[in-house]
Amino acid sequence: MEKVFEIKNKLKVTWNPEVRAIVDTWTTYFITLEEFKNSVLVEGLNHAKAHNGQAWIVDSSSAKGVFSQEIQKFIESDIFPAFLENGIKYFITINSKTDPVTRLTVNQYKSTATASGLQMIELNSVKDAVLWLKEESK
């Protein structure tokens, strides 16, 4: 996997060329809207567009906290439409098994992903997501 972008101690964005997927690995959801916009819409999405990305994997398995309501609204109004417009078909979540508060945040944006038209998949690990994408994109 190739590193795309990082917010130290918060988020690491990588690219998996084998399955053409961005992988967001979160350690905390306590970030600003500007940090979120820059990491997802600017760094991540531009990289995905340049490399014909098909999927976005969000690994929240070690994340703590919740996104602000401002970020939640931005995900619904801007992020998911931008994903669809730029060829992202699959939105895959790896949920937190340790922090129930973080799981609430993930569940909230999962419902908006499905409503926007993205294919929503929930799996247990990034490895499972990569295997699923290998099968799906045959």
**CB contact at 8 A, 41 and 78:** yes
Taking only the tens place, the pLDDT of each residue in 22-34 is: 999 999 999 999 9
Can you give the three-state secondary structure of 81-100, one letter per residue?
Answer: HHHHHCCCCEEEEECCCCCH
pLDDT tens for 98-136 read 566 666 666 666 666 666 778 989 899 999 999 999 998
CA torsion through residues 105, 48, 120, 117, sign = positive
pTM over 0.85: yes
Cα-to-chain-centroid distance, residue 50: 17
Residues near 84 by Cβ (< 8 Å), separated by ≥ 6?
A: 116, 117, 118
CATH superfamily of this structure's domain 19-136: Metallo-dependent phosphatases (3.60.21.10)
Model confidence over 49-73: pLDDT tens digits? 999 999 999 998 888 888 899 998 9
